[in-house]
Structure formats: C-alpha cells, structure tokens
Amino acid sequence: MNIVLLDPRQTEQSLWSISAKRQLEHLHTHLNLAVGDTLKVGVKQGTRYLTEVMEVSDTVIRVKPLHQETVPQKLPVTLIVALPRPKVLRRLIMDAVTLGVEKIILIHSYRVDKSYWQTPFLQQLDHYVELGLEQAGDTIAPKIECYKRFKPFVEDVLPSLIHAHQPAFLAHPYVEQSMPYAINQPCSIVIGPEGGFIPYEVDLLIQNGCQAAHLGNRIIRTETVIPYLIGRLFST
C-alpha cells in the first residue's frame, strides 16, 4: 500500500479520518505510524496529497493535508480481455490498474467457460481496482465494462474504439506481423482466453479493424502477456 485512498466524504473536515480496518491494520503493522509522520493520501477519483499524522489510535488515524501531489499519468490504453479464470482475473485487474490503463473491457469468447461469468470475483472488482491503485499511488480508477456476447461487441462496439491514430492490436501467435515497439500513441490491446481465440473470432476481429501481431515464438499466459505488451508498446 503506497497510498491510502479515502472517500471524498472522509475529507470534508480539516482533519481527515482513516478508519477502515484493512487500512488501519496495514498502517499499524507495516508502517508503525506515529504522530508527526507524513503519509500519502488520495481522494478517490480526485487529488493526491502529502499529509501529516495528527492522531493515532487503534480505531482511527487522523491526518492533516499539507500539499497536493501529482497523480500518476494514465496510459492511453483500452485493454480488451476474454474473461479469464477467476483467480487470474483478480491478478489481471490489479496489475492492469497498477500499470495505469485507462479502460478495461471483459468479453466472452468460445473458449471462455460460461461459469466464469457467475464468479463472485466479478462483484468484487472495485476491491481489486483499489488494491491496484494503492500499489501505484494512483487515485483515478479505470472504467471497466463487461460484454457477454462476443459478436455484438466486435461488430457494434469495437469499431468505435479504432481510429486512424488509435489502432487495436490483437495478440495472436500465428501471424507474420510482429507486435510493434514504442508506439507511444493511444491504442486498444485485445487478449484472448486460455487456448486463444478460435479462427472465426480472429477473422471477425480483423474484419472489424484489429491488427493481428505475434510476440515471438513463445505462448505467454494472459496474466504475463499484459505487462509485457504494455511495456513493449510504451517503452521509452
């Protein structure tokens, strides 16, 4: 936890109160905060501050804002991912948020088990987003959308995300074109399920504007390919 995130309602007084059990446990156990220490605090969907600790107890920590700090800049990336297994989904969301993507879209495909859409993890996305923001020291959550029907998403929604200066790259191992480096421009990244998209799905994605590109001769797991791809496309 590199920042404590507060609801805007918790910052309406001159002293801000931190009272969530998980946050208090971390601050007491790992930081051993004392009065006079400084602490990074962010207002959800708002500004980040350096604060001074004014009061410490078992049930609340009160801080006073000292000055604003710069919120980490988002990457202009829309991440489109075929819904993975629940445990992978948890890590995927946290890592994508930590890396700073602007938008995450979860989609269905032929090789996505329909039971994945019933997982309780989908009801807990806000929690995993918060964990990712805390790791990054960020305050602005990405937008998250879910589409349970593949064809309507690809034909009706995907084209609106693709423009002349905003391409969409489909990670696919069986094509000649290699994934570009350091494009440093807005883009969408499309990642398939375990086992990959079936040929029909690949063809439909390409017909609707995606550029299929490989990442070499290795087959990479979903949770591994996302940080690799983002690092490759936005290296400096």
Q: Which neighbouring-strand residues pair with 18?
A: 61
The reported pTM is 0.93
Nearest Cα residue to 71 out of 2, 124, 144? 2
pLDDT at 176: 85
Q: How confident is the model at residue 229, as a pLDDT?
A: 92
Domains and CATH numbers, the chain: 4-69 (2.40.240.20), 75-233 (3.40.1280.10)
Q: What is the pLDDT of residue 11?
A: 94
Q: 191 near 77, Cβ under 8 Å?
A: no
What pLDDT was estimated at residue 236?
A: 63
Report pLDDT for 184: 77
Distance CA 222, CA 176 (A): 21
Which pLDDT score is estimated for 8? 95
Please identify every stretch of the chain with a pLDDT value under 70, giving residue numbers as ranges.
236
